[in-house]
Amino acid sequence: MKVLVLISALLVGIFSTNAQISINERIRFKDTVKVKKYKPEENGFSSLKLRMNPGESTVLNPDELRKLKTQTIIGVDLVYSDYPKGADLSGLNRDRIIELYKFLPMAFNNNLVEWNLIKQLDVKSEADMQRYFHGFVIYYRKMPTFQQENKTILNVVKGKAKPEDSTLLKVFERNKAWKDMLVVCDVTGSMSPYTAQLLLWIAANNKMKTFKQIVFFNDNETKSTNQEQALDDHGIWATKETKLEPLLDVAFEAMEKGGHEENDLEAICYAIKKFPENKKNIVLIADNWENPCDMQLLEHLKNQKIPIKVVVCGVTERLNLNLLEIAYQTGGSIHTMEADLLDIAKIGEGKTFSIGNLHFRMSGGKFVQLSSTNGK
């Protein structure tokens, strides 16, 4: 049984003046994890501790949150102690969650964030409490510098290093029938390992003519458009180049000058307007850990009847449901390192399906990821 912390009404009542923030109706914790004494998980991500006094809900080091301004939040641990033994501390934990929302609302809006409730069991007295951590630990994916991204790509395409994973290479290998595709590629944040794979494939397989045009996106504004009135290339770079050096120049410019917003759908609209002859052959290369900032444009793409092949990078235990929705609504397909789902548009209400080892159900017209490997 999972623990549900139902705080939406309370949060909306407190913060309804901020119209730009929308929060999930529920924050879903996994089963409470019981430990003798908490230690942050070594999961390959960076972490930040937000300290609270035992029995209190005030963040003692709020200035630390500035470090998260441009970072992608991956998980949140709420850590408390079972003291007094057996006491009901749900009210305290609720207050702590509300306090976190004041400082970090974006963690509440992302279905990919994993929430864990950690109970420490070895506290023996009030004096003992001071030796234990209480509060939140925020796990995040640290944004690399442009110099680090540049080095990653050059090392891969020049054969000095292997890609960190092989998502794109495996997808392209499975789909060799793709010819003269119009690629729309995310080059924000931590996408450099995947940009490197794209460029490596093009350099090594130029004669296959897998791709005809490439549109890189890395928005420097927060207002996306459907490109119907006029082409707006802010945060968008397009090229027909298929030779490595010119492609590197365009990719590096996009990486360096963009604003790190995921304007996936605006970039697709731009690609359709810029290269209308190839609008039925779009491949979107997207970051699993970031939500597109312009999902409001999906209805426009659906009406245009443009099928989008969505290649999702960085999938582990969870898949970004917004990217699944893009493939579904446009009659496209979804591709991960492990598998391809080609008939997603045929999935009906109540149906369950799998993409590799991940399982989903269509419920109430929306996709829901199921928690276990047997699809329950």
Cis-peptide, bond into residue 307, ω within 30° of zero: no
Per-residue pLDDT of the chain (376 residues), as tens digits, is: 344 444 444 444 444 434 334 444 456 777 899 999 999 988 889 999 999 999 999 999 999 998 998 888 999 999 999 999 999 999 999 999 999 999 999 888 888 899 999 999 999 999 999 999 999 999 999 888 889 999 999 999 999 999 888 999 999 999 999 999 999 999 987 899 999 999 999 988 888 889 999 999 987 555 666 666 656 778 899 999 989 999 999 999 999 886 667 889 999 999 999 999 999 999 999 999 998 988 999 999 999 999 999 999 999 889 999 999 999 999 999 999 999 999 899 999 999 999 999 999 999 999 999 975 544 4
CA distance linking residue 52 with residue 196, whole number of Å:
42
Q: 181 with 208: CB under 8 angstroms?
A: no
Pairwise CA distance, residues 207 & 243, whole Å: 11
Q: Read off the pTM.
A: 0.85
User: Selecting from 3.30.1330, 3.30.70, 1.20.120, 3.40.50, what CATH number does the domain 3-141 have?
Assistant: 3.30.1330
| 3-state DSSP assignment of residue 310 | strand
Residue-range domain boundaries for the chain? 3-141, 146-369
- In a 13 Å sphere around the CA of 322, the CA atoms on its Cβ side amount to 22
CATH class belonging to 146-369? alpha beta
Q: Residues 108, 352, 375, CA angle at the centre, nearest 5°?
A: 75
CB burial of 21-38 (b: ≥16 within 10 Å; e: otherwise) equals eebeeebebeeeeeeeeb
